Structure 1
Amino acid sequence: MHNTPPDPGSALAMRAHFRQSQSRTARLRLLVDTGQELAQLPPQAMRERVLARACAFLAMDHGLLQEWDAEGCASVTARHGSPAHIARLATLADRDLRTPHWHEPPHSVLQVPLRGSDGQAFGVLVLGNSVSLRAPEHEDSESLQLLATLLAAHLQNQRLLTTLKARDRTLSDLVNRLLRAQEDERKRVAYDLHDGLAQTLAGLHQRLQGFAGRCPTLPDALAADLQAILSLAQHSVGEGRQLIAGLRPTVLDDFGLFKALDKEADRLRDAGIQVLWRSHCAARLPSSVEIAVFRIGQEAINNVLKHAQASQVALTLELRDETAILQVDDNGKGFAHDPHRDGADHVGLATMQERASLLGGRFSCVSVVGGGTQVQASVPALVNGAAQ
């Protein structure tokens, strides 16, 4: 029995097919492995990893990544290989590049653009070798373009995230300034009312009382009118004091947060709602902390009076691990969180959240329909490293 001699053509075809399979596997591994890595890396490490992998994929011994900022200024953001060779590559970087471009020998350089979502290039990968190489296959260039697009997407996401964070910081700073200006204006108006209109109303009430005491006996109709005027004057004095207390409670400045919140809780008691202090802290806190926590408590009490239909409210004010914690629990009707209504109907909750977050604190509101509402705010109680 004779063995059939091997077919040289068939062997060459199998070898070519095997090499093609190897190339496709290498391209796929380049994209998959690098894509998984980029999600775990910071921006600078992303640049360096992509550049190193691109050089290794094409057997290039040096390369760089050059990027342009919004003003068009170019900067090399990643380097690989000899500084002398890298300097030469920098002179070849082309910002107007749309597709991968191969420089024929003696350069043996491949440029791959990084394009943003608008299609405009904001960077370019420039890969070179110290000895002449043949041009890479079209599939290899396409793979590197996909790799560059992947890097561009991650870098743009990082840029957008950085911009968003900067805008968020700016917005928080503006809100902080607005709240401070609001408190300053409330304080000024409260003191102006106290020293002006409130004193005038109090003087008017006293003069009317003195006049009524010296007045001879009046007919019943006139006596009733005089008593009505006295009652109106007394009511005006009380309203003036409540207005001043709402703008800037003097008890907050004079006696601290606990006394101010307990004074605010008198509004609940006047409405027939039982108030229970589970625990309280009478220590003085930094002014910014006392104001923020007081305003949060004041808004929570407002919500109980307006919406809760509660019969009991439990208050907690603690200083724990250098953190001021305020909690307001009511046994009212509760409410369901509706994302379509929160912006319009729950501005107070958003304001409480903002006041806490501006001081690096946390705010939560948990409510169950028919099961009451719990509001909690925790705010760092230190300013410049020390409590007052």
Structure 2
Amino acid sequence: MAELRDLYRSAEARAARLRLLVEASRDLSTAEDNTLSDILQQSAMRAAHFAGSREGVVSIDAETAGIPLIAPGTTDQRVGTLHLSELGSLETLADEEDRQALFLLCQLMASSIQRVAKQQENDFLLQTVQERERRLEHVIGNLFSAQEEERRRVSRDLHDSVAQTAGALFRRLEAVPTDEAISVEERDQLISMSQGLIRELRAVIAGLRPTALDDLGLASALKVMSDQMRTEGFDIFVDVKQDVDWPSGLSTAYYRIAQEALANVRKHAGGPCQVDILLKAEPGAGRWTMAIRDHGVGLRKDEASAQLPGEQVGIEMMKERMLAIGGSLTVSDMHGGGVQVRAEIEGIR
């Protein structure tokens, strides 16, 4: 009879262990981000009842005193802790099979924690990729628009300057009698028009691809641009914090942004004023910054005028240039008057 009782108790104990693992495995396998905490606490209470403790609690990512929850795999990563009242560790259980059952339960809980964490990470990465794809589609579309806008600008420049001067020169030459020599005055006028035509062509060519940028670098090219504005009455100060070789793609983008920003100063600052240009390179940190501030009248506050067609095209093109290379651009009113355009990018070494 004693042997039968022992066998019966042993069978009941094995059934209790099996029931503990089956029920916990069933619930933990269905755990999601929003249900994981409740299911873990339910499994912890099952473990407490099985071990004869009053209470069981699970702490995620907490390396505190208690039974560690080790994620399966080769890294032995601790993902949480099982706290059982009156039970500091599995070693305090007298029965080896009970210890094994609780050990398996801890592995099941750790596996669920790890699975949900990986799912959260995958969801985040998927959302990040999808967001980047949407931004890339937006940037590509806007880049085509910006390219067409630049082509229209070059076309207007050629039409309004070079073509007009060339047409006038042609008409003057056409009016010269074939059987008479031209006067010195007419000759000087034609020479002056030809020289003006050459200057206009050089200006358009420089606008398409500035030779100063290729030959001298970004800092010197900005100084050349500033010298031109000084002849128009602007007080320009260029502050180069660290004169280094800028990456080619960045220098071109920043030069174009400076062109557009200074063109806006000419149009909207209210006349010649002080303009500060800051160029800061931090190659070690991968941070590249340019800030252009004028001390003019500031941004237009008239809401209606801000909605005029083309009013924001220049600003949007500058922002799109920075977005295309992974940077950012802000345009803001400054205290005391004026506008600041700030372009910045990080992570490029």
> If the length of structure 1 is used for normalisation, what is the TM-score?
0.46
The answer to whether the aligner puts 1:238 opposite 2:204 as a matched pair is no
Contact 1:363 1:377 in 2 (8 A): yes
Q: Name which of 319, 322, 328 aligns with 1:353.
A: 319
Aligned residue in 2 for 1:325: 289
Question: Aligned to 1:299, what secondary structure does the other structure show?
Answer: helix
- Contact map agreement 2:240 2:280 (CA 8 A) in 1: yes
**Contact kept? 2:328, 2:345, Cα under 8 Å:** yes
Superposition map of 1:77-226 within 5 A: 166-176=133-143, 222-226=183-187
> Structure 1 residues 166, 366: CA separation in 2 closer, same or farther (over 3 Å shift)?
same
The structure-2 alpha-carbon separation of the partners of 1:369 and 1:337, relative to structure 1 and needing over 3 Å to count, comes to farther
Q: Is the 8 A contact 1:336 1:367 kept in 2?
A: no
Equivalent position of 1:312 in the other structure: 274
Aligned-CA RMSD value: 4.5
CA contact (8 A) 1:367 1:373 kept: yes
Query: Aligned to 2:243, which of 275, 282, 291?
Result: 282
Give the structure 2 partner of residue 132 of structure 1: none
Q: Are the structure 2 counterparts of residues 348 and 369 from structure 1 closer, same or farther at C-alpha, using a change threshold of 3 Å?
A: farther
The equivalent position to 2:341 in structure 1, one of 361, 375, 388, is 375
Q: Partners in 2 of 1:173 and 1:353 — Cα distance?
A: 13
Deviations 1:16-48 (A, max 9, x none): xxxxxxxxxxxxxxxxxxxxxxxxxxxxx9955
Amino acid at match of 1:316: L
State TM-score, norm by structure 2: 0.50
Over 6 Å off, 4+ runs:
51-54, 159-164, 181-186
User: Could you tell me how far apart the structure 2 residues matched to 1:381 and 1:237 are?
Assistant: 42
Return the alpha-carbon distance in structure 2 between the equivalents of residues 359 and 337 of structure 1: 31
- 1:332 is aligned with what amino acid? G
> For residues 162 and 361 of structure 1, what CA distance do their matches in structure 2 show?
17
The correspondence for 1:229, drawn from 175, 190, 200, is 190
Using the TM superposition, give the Cα deviation of residue 162 of structure 1 relative to its aligned residue in structure 2, in angstroms. 8.1
Kept in 2, the 8 Å contact 1:361–1:378? The answer is: yes
Residues 361 and 231 from structure 1, CA distance in 2 versus in 1: closer, same or farther, beyond 3 angstroms?
A: same
Compare 284-293 and 313-322 and name the one that shifted more: 313-322
Asked whether 1:49 is paired with 2:34, we answer: yes
* Paired residue secondary structure (2:34): helix
Confirm or deny: 8 A CA contact 1:280 1:317 kept in the other structure: yes
Tell me the CA shift for residue 279 of structure 1. Answer: 2.9
Distance in 2, matches of 1:286 and 1:178, equals 25
In the TM superposition, what whole-angstrom CA distance separates every residue of 1:181-238 from its partner, at most 9, and x where no partner exists? 679989xx9xxx9xxx9xxx9xx9xxx9xxxxxxxxx88xx22111110100000111
> Shift in Å at residue 372 of structure 1?
1.2
Alpha-carbon contact 2:243-2:281 (below 8 Å) kept: no
1:256-295 correspondence to structure 2 within 5 Å: 256-295=217-256
Per-residue CA distance 1:314-370 (angstroms, 9 max, x = gap): 111110333221111211111245666258412111111221222222212122597
Any gaps of 5 or more consecutive residues in structure 1?
1-44, 57-158, 209-217
Q: How many residues align?
A: 217
Say if 1:336 and 1:368, in contact at 8 Å, map to a contact too.
no
Residues 47, 161 of structure 1: alpha-carbon distance in 2 compared, 3 angstrom cutoff: farther
In structure 2, what is the Cα distance between the partners aligned to 1:52 and 1:316? 52
Residue 254 to residue 176, structure 1, CA distance change in 2 (3 Å): same
CA contact (8 A) 2:233 2:272 kept: no
C-alpha distance in structure 1 between counterparts of 2:148 and 2:255, whole Å: 14
Cα 1:281–1:241 change in 2 (3 A) is: farther
Report the identity percentage. 30
d(CA) in 1 for partners of 2:300, 2:209:
32
Distance 1:232 1:172, change over 3 A: same
Closer, same or farther in 2 for the Cα pair 1:225/1:279, shift >3 Å? same
Residue 261 (structure 2) aligned to one of 286, 294, 300: 300
Partner of 1:146: none
Structure 1 distance, partners of 2:319, 2:308, is 13
Q: Which amino acid aligns with 1:326?
A: M
Query: Could you tell me whether the CA contact under 8 Å between 1:326 and 1:376 is conserved in 2?
Result: yes
